[in-house]
Amino acid sequence: AQKITQTQPGMFVQEKEAVTLDCTYDTSDQSYGLFWYKQPSSGEMIFLIYQGSYDEQNATEGRYSLNFQKARKSANLVISASQLGDSAMYFCAMREGLGTAAGNQFYFGTGTSLTVIP
Amino acid sequence: KAGVTQTPRYLIKTRGQQVTLSCSPISGHRSVSWYQQTPGQGLQFLFEYFSETQRNKGNFPGRFSGRQFSNSRSEMNVSTLELGDSALYLCASSPAQGLNEKLFFGSGTQLSVL
């Protein structure tokens, strides 16, 4: 089974509108971390936001928020007030375990290509 | 602080050849990971080094190998290249291995195998 599933290969959003990118995950660990990265056409992966499995509040970073629904194993990224510069690939990722023991292996989804329309 | 540096940026090789990719992590970062990215497949974990020791290895054939030096710089080697090895290879570093530690990525090496 896939550890991370992103079911939206491509999304379009009007400038200044909000958009939600879906992510579901699969793990039997109690401790895990969820991450979202943005990859512009330049190729570099840019960290956006992090949510820990024990965090009770949804994470927020500026215009980015993470809608964390633990029982449903979903970690959707919400981008508010979209900008043209938000056009990029977006990847959801997960790290399992207690960090040190599990090392730094991240599991990534296949990504969602977001296009912001002026 | 300088970011993660990967060299070369682009590489063209032919089948059967071998290739070495280089990665210099952010100063002070002891963990270096490598990922292969192909269209439609997302990022696939290759391996991770921490203080010169390989801690984790992904599900790749033995043709893929790596190492980390005492200054944390890392190299990845692919021997007997196949057409399917064409991909963007991303290196990432992090200072530690806590659950909330994010990865800092380089711009990648785009490898084309002809």
Alpha-carbon span A29 to A97, nearest angstrom: 6
- CB B81, CB B74: distance < 8 Å: no
Nearest residue in chain B measured CA to CA from A90: B42
Mean pLDDT of B20-34: 95
* Interface probe, candidates A45, A50, A110, chain B, greatest B C-beta count within 10 A: A45
Q: Give the count of beta carbons closer than 10 Å to the beta carbon of residue A118.
A: 6
Distance CA B31, CA B50 (A): 4
Of A45, A54, A56, A60, nearest to A93 (Cα)? A45
Average pLDDT of chain B, as a whole number:
93
CA distance A69 to A6: 15
Distance of CA A35 to the CA centre of its chain: 5
Do B55 and A104 count as a contact with CB atoms less than 8 A apart? Answer: yes
Number of A to B CB contacts under 8 A, please give it.
Answer: 83
When pLDDT is averaged across residues B3-29 and rounded to a whole number, the result is 96
Q: What is the pLDDT of residue A101?
A: 55
CA dist list (Å): A62 to A34, A49, A59, A82, B7? 17, 10, 10, 12, 33
pLDDT tens readout for residues B81-96: 999 999 999 999 998 7
B42: contact with A, CB 8 A cutoff: yes
pLDDT score at B36: 97
Q: What is the mean pLDDT of residues B19-39?
A: 95
pLDDT at B40: 76
**CA pair distance B86, A3, nearest whole angstrom:** 24
Closest partner residue to A33 (CB to CB) among B45, B90, B99 is B99
User: Mean pLDDT, consecutive 10-residue segments, chain A of 118 residues?
Assistant: 92 97 94 95 93 94 97 97 97 80 80 96
What sign results for the dihedral spanned by CA atoms A103, B29, A2, B46?
A: negative
Q: Distance, in angstroms, between A20 CA and closest chain B CA?
A: 19
Side-chain-side CA neighbours of A56 within 13 Å: the count stands at 0
